[in-house]
Amino acid sequence: DISESSDSIVKQLNDINGTIRVRVLH
């Protein structure tokens, strides 16, 4: 359960970073 939750958190952080990068680029 801990590993799954950590993976989901990492995915969320990656998504946030991706959106921020797109906003910065545009």
**pLDDT score for 22:** 86
Task: Please give the share of the chain, as a percent, with pLDDT higher than 70.
Answer: 88
Residue 14 burial (CB count, 10 A): 10
Report the predicted TM-score, pTM, of the whole model to 2 decimal places: 0.53
Average pLDDT of 14-24?
91
Rg (CA), the chain: 11
Q: CA 16, CA 2: separation in Å to the nearest integer?
A: 21
